[in-house]
Chains A and B, each alone.
Chain A
Amino acid sequence: MDQKNDSHEPVIIFEAVSIGFDEKQVLNKLSFTLPHGETKVLFGEAGTGKTLVLKLALGLIKPDSGRITVLGHEVTAMKERDLFALRQRIGMVFQESALFDSLNVKDNVSFRLREERMPPDEITRRVDDALRFVELEHTVDMFPAELSGGMRRRVAIARAIVAEPELLLYDSPTAGLDPVTSTTIVELLVKQRDVYKTSALLVTHRLQDAFIMANHAFDRKQNKMIAVPPGWEWDAKTSFLVLKGGDKIFEGTAAEIANSDSPYIREYLTQ
């Protein structure tokens, strides 16, 4: 399980994945791939199965039919006990953060490292690095209940990246946050993408977040996110995938979605 995925192979492959609940089909033969180093943004109205896609990729839920391959492993054919080792190579940021409320920030962020029996000095160093990345070094002894919504999301991001995962899954990391905090979170995602080149699947309702992801890069010299000037050499790719009623209705780049002729997408973009 510890072998790395071939960098030419897609990180995630969904092949005709279907799932339904209470006789309602939520995903209908969904197929897509997430190439190595790319960020794919999932759009869609509430209830179209975006969060479900992330949980299916992690193997937290099994589909009714279809095949899902993540980091070279077919998760749909794996048993729960075998999935734990694969999940250690993936970071997930839940919509409501899902921080352990009885643990402080340090213990939350270091949870996986302690599970791996890492030496305490190394744990402290990695936790400090992760909290510095999300600019929350001062919260190390605080409990989740003492943090604001935006801070909790940032701690959740720190927890997801602390073990240096090969794949990141973000479930609406900016939902319910004010525009300033949302931009801070998006900047962190851009920084993670451009500095560590981590492949990611991002679920969001906010179009502006997705377009910022597509049109901005992280400048390490200035230590901030900057708009990508035209003609700039840039290897970070961000693509879009739109779901509607369980079906994939669009997959492509920011430019392609902006010029889409689909009435639904046009309406979605103008809302």
Chain B
Amino acid sequence: MSPVAVSHKEEIRVRVDDVIVVADRVKRFRLAPVDKGQLPAFSGGAHITVMMDDGRRRIRNPYSLMSSPACTETYEISVLRVAESRGGSTYMHTRVSPGTELWITPPGNLFPIHQLARKHILIAGGIGITPFMAMTAQLSTLGHDFELHYAMRAEATGAYGKALKETYGDRVSLYRTSLGERIPLDDLLEERPLGTHVYVCGPERMIDSVLDSGRLAGWPQENLHCERFLPPPGGDPFTVRLARSELDVHVGEHESILEAVEAAGVNPPYLCRGGVCGQCETRVLSRDGVMDHNDHYLTAEERAAGQQLMICMSRFRGRQLTLDL
């Protein structure tokens, strides 16, 4: 599957028609289309990008769709309010209420279920449960064999644990880490039939540990799937030269190159905003300094060659950087 970049003309206006407090610091938002009756179809694992204008700048955050793919009347997303918010989750929690209008991108899916799998093992940590809400609905409709392992700090922080358990029964296992319960990864990966696929979404450490355990157990990479939703890391501010636009853009401490470039009125293609999809790959025309590649897309060889930069996640330290934008 090759992901398609978001074109800015395709943005969709939605109205928030319901907001529910689901757990500590987690709110669920239901989004209904304003200009049409239906929203675009999507598959489990898909995400949208929500645009938020806070008066000074436009924040764009990707969120997994958690509602059933069978319903395109509305979309549902869940937002965890993070302490070190870069603005997005705080905006959603404090400034969005029923009636608020927002712009979103059409859905894109970088974490689809593997239709030919014999069995699906879904592993979620905390708010990483959201893509699996849509996936379990889809897998259940298709009659596919799946199991969900969902780790949360405590019952009160685990949004949806109870509801999932009620709907899917034994197929769902819950782990409360505050009680010392851990997902038994090595057991989970043992003696599985050929054609079993693993999907993981959660904290970075959990993702890495699942992928490492899988590799050590001899699983091919084709059967290991993950979705990371890291915000772009901050760092010292710097200036980037956009050759085609003939602009010098200042990239602040807490913003990505992509965000700074968008604020300057230039709109490069993007899809995941998390360094995995490859859409915002940008050619480096010249540089005097070091690029900090924070993406999961470029290969070691491409990084060494230094000709490309994933501007949604990566940063620069040095005297000058000129991009083909």
Q: Answer yes or no: do A and B interact.
A: no
Q: Which residues of A contact B (CB under 8 A)?
A: none
State the B residues within 8 Å of A (CB): none
